[in-house]
Amino acid sequence: MDNVYLDVSELAAPEPMRVILNALTGISRGQTLVVRHRQEPKPLYPKLIELGFSYQVQQSGSFYLINIKRRD
């Protein structure tokens, strides 16, 4: 499985969501977009589901890591 890493932790809102959604256009089946964010992006989650993605969130220190992949 291929991972694509994206750090949006230094971006001001609403840029993280825009950058993440844009990056998802290049993610194919079997790839995971691993996003590092400074806060949990709860408004993003419904959009991911709507677009056919699944996600897992874990807190790592003061950051959140969100693993996003296409649903089968």
**Structural domains of the chain sorted by starting position, each given as residue range(s) with its CATH number in brackets:** 2-70 (3.30.110.40)
The amino acid sitting at 60 is S
Nearest Cα to Cα of residue 49 among 28, 67, 32, 71? 71
26, 61, 9, 23 alpha-carbon torsion, rounded to 10°: 10
Stated pTM of the model: 0.93
At residue 1, the pLDDT reads 62
Q: How many CB atoms are located within 10 Å of the residue 18 CB?
A: 12
Q: What is the pLDDT of residues 32-67, one digit of tens each?
A: 999 999 999 999 999 999 999 999 999 999 999 999
